[in-house]
A = this chain, B = another copy of it.
Amino acid sequence: VGGSAARVSRAAPRRVRARRGEGEKLKEQILEAAERLLVVTEDEEAVSIRAVAEAVGVTPPSIYLHFEDKDDLLVAVCERRFAQLDRALEEAGADALDPVGALIERGRAYVRFGLEYPELYRILFLRRVGPRPIRADRTRDVAAFDHHLAAVSAAVESGAMKGDPLLVAVGLWAAVHGITSLLITKPHFEWPELDPLIDHVLHTQIRGLSTPDTEGGTT
């Protein structure tokens, strides 16, 4: 089996065909290529079935061996990144000393994620929903929001914050989402310096939600 390996390098095939039973490898490569295209071009429209196929080194119909249609592929890409965002937030919050500090660290990580993958963020959070509600709605992003809600509840239960946890969670999300999306969609605006701006947004929120006796104690 090892003796005939010298034949491989002829006529420059872009990709070696997977062996029997290893068809799933292509699925992974397609997902990676689609995501890479999205990150590199920062343009959802550049991610066509044809472009993804070419990036993988395969013909367009091959995509349909693993994905029902184009939307199915994009949703799959989103689900992976939602999962990654969720993990990033959980890890950022885990190192904090107290629940309020955890919220701040989670917020910073959220903005960081958005600025690192702006086009993915656009697809996840700024796109209009299509005719069929995006399937990911019922899976990964709900998990991420549940974790966020849990982090907020912990802060409220610690006594450092007051308010209805759901309202507070949505409000915090709105604040970090607001600054993240503005930074992404309005790059030509003359923004103040980035870190002070993010800190201002987070601390204004926290201060607005703090109970009077603990106020200012977690800056």
Question: Which A residues are closer than 8 A to B by beta carbons?
Answer: 42-43, 118-119, 122, 125-129, 133, 137, 163-164, 166-168, 170-171, 173-179, 181-182, 184-189, 191-192, 196-197, 200-201, 203-209
Question: For residue A204, which residues in chain B have a CB less than 8 angstroms away from its CB?
Answer: 171, 205, 208-209
10 A-B pairs whose Cβ atoms sit less than 8 Å apart in the complex = A126-B126, A127-B185, A128-B185, A129-B185, A129-B186, A129-B188, A171-B197, A177-B181, A207-B208, A208-B209
Q: Which residues of B contact A201 (CB under 8 A)?
A: 171, 174-175
Q: Is the interface of A mostly helix, strand, loop or mixed?
A: helix
CA distance A26 to B191 in the complex (A): 39
Across the interface, do A192 and B170 meet the contact criterion of CB distance under 8 Å?
yes
Q: A197-B170, A209-B204 are in contact. Are A181 and B126 (CB under 8 A)?
A: yes
User: Are A182's CB and B177's CB within 8 A?
Assistant: yes
Question: Copy number in this complex?
Answer: 2
Contacts of A171 in B (CB 8 A): 179, 197, 200-201, 204
Q: Per a CB cutoff under 8 Å, which of B133, B175, B209 touches A178?
A: B175
Partner of A177, one of B129, B178, B196: B178
Cβ A197 vs Cβ B167 within 8 A: yes
Assess whether B197 is in contact with A208, with CB atoms less than 8 Å apart: no
Q: A167-B200, A174-B201, A205-B208 known; 16 other A-B pairs, CB under 8 Å? A: A127-B185, A129-B185, A129-B187, A129-B188, A133-B188, A170-B179, A170-B192, A170-B197, A170-B200, A171-B179, A174-B178, A174-B179, A177-B181, A178-B179, A178-B181, A207-B208
In the bound complex, what is the Cα–Cα distance between A47 and B208 (angstroms)?
42
CA distance A16 to B186 in the complex (A): 42
Among all A-B residue pairs, the 10 with the closest Cβ atoms? A178-B178, A208-B208, A174-B178, A204-B208, A174-B179, A207-B208, A126-B126, A177-B178, A167-B200, A133-B188
For residue A215, which residue of chain B has the nearest CB?
B212
B128 touches A119 (CB 8 A): yes
In the complex, are the beta carbons of A126 and B196 less than 8 A apart? no
Which residues of B have CB within 8 Å of A43?
Answer: 128
